[in-house]
Amino acid sequence: MRTRTFTCLTIGLIGLLSAAPVHGAGEMKVGVGKVVITPKQDMWLAGYASRTRPSEGKLHDLYAKALALEDETGARTVLVTSDLIGVPAALVNDTANRAREKFQLPRERLMVTVSHTHTGPVLQDRLQHMYGLNETQTRLLEAYSKTLPDLFLQAIASALNDLQPCRVEWGVGRAGFAVNRRQYTPGGVINGANPIGPVDHDVPVMKISRADGSIKAVVHGYACHNTTLNLQKFSGDYAGFSQVYLEAKLPGATALFVCGCGGDANPLPRGTVEHAQKYGTELAEAVLAAARQPLTDLKGPIRAAFKEVSLALSPPPPRAEVEKQLQDSNVYVQRRAQLLLKTLHEKGALPTTYPYPVQAWQFADGMQMIALGGEVVVDYSLRLKYELGRERTWVIAYANDVCAYMPSLRVLREGGYEGAESMIYYGHHGPWAPAIEENIIGAVHELARPAKK
Ligand SMILES: [Zn+2]
């Protein structure tokens, strides 16, 4: 059965509510905000279930950063980036509701993203159960998670208070360290290295310049896991180093990173701080090289759209099967069974669908940013750039909710970690239904502007 029930659809075409234009045709004002979000005390680090102790200090600070764009109609559109592993929908929705009240920011005009760093703190309700943490650690991560919406709102407020006329341009560079990690073996797909597997090496760059020509901000993206490091110190991994490098090279500028469809890509080889610095530098140099080339101007008005797609999961198992999993030899299957039984107790049934966020921002007759929730595999990026036009499309993942891996139909059929096993850690009862790819792509096409013929 195809499931295409859309639970929420909000499309905001700016200009509908506004009166006279506030700037000249196409002109934009831009503001940036930056807030340190490094936990004030050591706590459990996310990313790897095998960790045995909390963090021990930091390599560099973690940040939430905001970029606010005000177009000629006065409509404001805000991107939030963060050095975190993955924020759950509840946390983003709380932030969005408060941003609507406080700043009159419509839902479709707020995009909350994470870099997916694996050396950030564990967050509440997102992979939390995987770690089997004690009460002290649980209290710490819950208290920390509760501070995040406030920190995001602080960054947004700073950005909105910082608006000034700017030139906004974009272009695409290239960096080669992302490697497809789905290695095919006689025993199935393992998490290794697949040097001939698909990757997306584009480095989309948005350059924001003040009236005097100085650079105010650079937003850059890359489709690769932030998994260079698994040490016990807080860091933003390669994307943290890339932001530090860019801000050092461009005094007065704020660097923001968004992760692309790198669900099945790792930075390889990896494991040392030198690797993370090297990849951060490579990415930042790709950004600087792109920014030196002639770029394409981006103009307002910005059209924004957001919807939640009801994505079907595979049929839920009967209760008896879940109860049996409590005795499974795999401790993560046991922990998931406890979660599923809690859901059965509270709601009477396991979910058959998941409300999945899809968002699109379109600059006037120019580039469009497509933002997808979850750990999206590279097939989506390649397909969407093909279908919408690579020269006009920026695909962002890990946006608005990091709820699971999002396999393409190919990856779902092949199985392995991104296709099936990771659902255990995310607490879902089984894989996505085969309609996943067409449902997500279909939703993007509803919100996006078609490619130029
Ligand atoms: Zn991941």
Residues 332 and 237 in one domain: no
Cα separation of the two ends of the chain: 33
In a domain, 309, yes or no: no
**Distance from the alpha carbon of residue 326 to the mean position of ligand 1, in angstroms:** 25
Separation of CA 21 and ligand 1 centre (Å): 43
How much distance in Å is there from the Cα of 182 to the middle of ligand 1?
13
8-state DSSP, 420: I
The string of pLDDT tens digits covering residues 151-181 is 999 999 999 999 999 999 999 999 999 999 9
Q: Rounded distance, CA 28 to CA 23, Å?
A: 7
67/137 same-domain check: yes
Taking each helix axis as running N to C, give the angle between helix 378-388 and helix 436-447, from 0 to 180 degrees, rounded to the nearest 10.
Answer: 40
β-strands 110-112, 76-82 pairing: parallel
Give the distance (Å) from ligand 1 centre to CA of residue 419. 12
CA of 121 to the centre of ligand 1 (A): 14
| CA 145–ligand 1 middle distance (angstroms) | 19
The gap from C-alpha 399 to its chain's centroid, in whole angstroms, comes to 4
User: What's the CA angle centered on 230, arms 226 and 233, to 5 degrees?
Assistant: 100
Residue 78 CB neighbour total at 10 angstroms: 23
Position 251 in a domain: yes
Q: How far is the CA of 78 from the centre of ligand 1 (A)?
A: 25
One domain for residues 268 and 174: yes
Distance CA 323, CA 339 (A): 11
**Cα(421) to centroid(ligand 1), Å:** 12
pLDDT of residue 15: 33
Q: How far is the CA of 375 from the centre of ligand 1 (A)?
A: 6
Are both 224 and 324 inside the same structural domain? no
Q: Say if residue 200 is in the same domain as residue 336.
A: no
Q: How many CB atoms lie within 10 A of CB 136?
A: 10
How far apart CA 264 and CA 99 sit, in angstroms, is: 33
3-state per-residue secondary structure call for 425-452: HCCCCCCECCCHHHHHHHHHHHHCCCCC
Number of domains making up the chain: 2
Query: Is there a single domain that holds both residue 189 and residue 241?
Result: yes
For residue 216, report the distance from its CA to the centre of ligand 1, in Å.
31
- How many angstroms separate the CA atoms of 125 and 141, rounded? 10
In a domain, 170, yes or no: yes
In a domain, 165, yes or no: yes
178 and 245 share a domain?
yes
pLDDT of residue 5: 31
Q: Supply the DSSP symbol for 418.
A: I
CA angle (37 as vertex; 90, 122 as ends), nearest 5: 55
Please give the pLDDT value at position 79: 99
CA distance 83 to 257: 9
In a domain, 434, yes or no: no
Q: Could you tell me if 43 and 137 are in contact, meaning their C-beta atoms sit under 8 angstroms apart?
A: yes
Instruction: Look up residue 128 and give its DSSP letter.
Output: G
Dist. CA 123 → ligand 1 center (Å): 14
| 100 Cα to the center of ligand 1, angstroms | 30
Phi and psi at 115, nearest 5°, equal -85, -15
Taking 70 as the pLDDT cut, the residues of the chain under it are 1-22, 126, 452-453
Closest CA to 325 of 314, 316, 336: 336
Q: In this structure, are 331 and 386 located in the same domain?
A: no
Q: List the one residue out of 71, 68, 121 whose CA is nearest residue 91.
A: 121
State the pLDDT at residue 22: 60
> Which tokens hold the place of 163?
């608006």
Q: If you measure from the C-alpha of residue 298 to the centroid of ligand 1, how many angstroms do you get, rounded to a whole number?
A: 31
The answer as to whether 412 is a domain residue is no
Query: How far does residue 41's CA lie from ligand 1's centre (Å)?
Result: 25
Domain assignment present for 439 = no
Rounded distance from Cα 104 to ligand 1 centre (Å) = 33
Q: Do both 42 and 74 map to the same domain?
A: yes
Q: Are residues 182 and 259 in the same domain?
A: yes
Closest CA to 364 of 213, 100, 168: 168
Range of the domain at 339: 317-347
What is the distance in A from the centroid of ligand 1 to the CA of 294?
Answer: 34
413 belongs to a structural domain: no
Q: Do 207 and 336 share a domain, yes or no? A: no
CA of 35 to the centre of ligand 1 (A): 24
pLDDT at position 49, please?
83
Please tell me whether residues 151 and 190 are part of one structural domain: yes
Q: Quick count: other Cβ atoms within 10 Å of Cβ 156?
A: 29
The strand pair at 296-297 and 265-267 is best described as unpaired
